Amino acid sequence: MKGCGILTMGRSVKISASARRLGLQLRQGRKWKSAWERTLFVSGKYQVPWDLLPSGFHFLKRWDAAAPLWRYGVLAQDVGTPAERKRTAKLTLDLRIPLYEPGLLFIRSSEAGLALLETWRAECRRGDDERLAFLRALHVVKPRFCALPRSWLAEEAQRAKQDARTDKNVRNTFKLLVRVEIAPGRFVKCYSGDEEKVKEHFASLQQRGRGAGEQGSRKRRRPAKDKMRKLAEDKAKKKEEEKAGG
C-alpha cells in the first residue's frame, strides 16, 4: 500500500511481519502530524488492527477521515464536564449522539483531513475529554467522515466471533421466500426451509377453528331449546289456570 503508514502515539510498537507483508511503514510519534498520504494514528490501549488495514486505507481514497464508534450505549451527554458538554452542544445542538474513538484514527492528507486533525488537537489542549473534542472538531471542519463499527477496536479473535454472528444474522435475514399451499388454492409465503412448520401451523389453526365452530353451534342451539321449553311450560300453566277457573 503505497503512501500509507502507521503512527503509534506515545509508545513503541515492533514492526511485525504483518506490517512488512502489507508494505507499511510503522513509526512511533509524539506529534499528531500526518507523515504519509494516508495515515493511521493509534494511541491509548488500542492495538493495530492488521487484518482491517487494507479496508481502512481503502476508505481514505473516498473519505477524509475514519474512526470507529466508541461505545453503543454511551452518548455525548454522558461524558465530560458540564462546561465541556455546554461547548459541545453549541456546535452539535444536541448531545444525544454517539461518540467516536479517535484512538484509532485514519486520516487522509487532504485539506479537510488535516484540518480535522489540527482542530481536534487544539480542542484537546484544555485537557478536555478527547472524544467530545473530536466531536466538536467534526462539526467545525465537516470533513467527509466514515464511521466504522465498534468491532474495529476489538482484538482479531473477538472480531472473528462477531463477524461470524453477523454473517449468521444476515443469512437468516435474507433467506429466499417461497410459496406454500396451506389449503386447496390458498397460498402463503415463508422462508425457504420453513415450509413444513407453516403447514403445521395453519393446520392447527384450522382444527381450532372447526372446534370453535362446533362449540358455537351448540351454544346457538341451546337458547332455542330453552325457548321451546318455556313456551310449553307457559302453555301447561295456562291450561291449569283455565281448569281452576272453570
Q: What gap in Å lies between CA 59 and CA 55, rounded to an integer?
A: 6
Into which CATH architecture does domain 4-166 fall? Alpha-Beta Complex (3.90)
What is the helix (H) or strand (E) element at residue 180, kind and residue range? strand 177-183
Q: Which pTM does this prediction carry?
A: 0.62
Q: What gap in Å lies between CA 174 and CA 48, rounded to an integer?
A: 33
pLDDT in tens, 36-71: 999 999 887 788 888 899 999 999 999 999 999 999
* Grid coordinates given for 179: 410459496
Residue located via cell numbers 510519534: 29
Secondary structure of 10-22 in HEC code, one letter for each residue: CCCCCCCHHHHHH
Q: What gap in Å lies between CA 10 and CA 30, rounded to an integer?
A: 6
Residue 134's Cβ-count burial label (10 Å; 0-12, 13-18, 19+) is buried
pLDDT in tens, 170-179: 556 556 788 9
Evaluate whether 66 touches 56 at the Cβ level (below 8 Å).
yes
Q: What is the mean pLDDT of residues 131-153?
A: 95
Residue located via cell numbers 484512538: 103
pLDDT at 244 exceeding the cut of 80? no
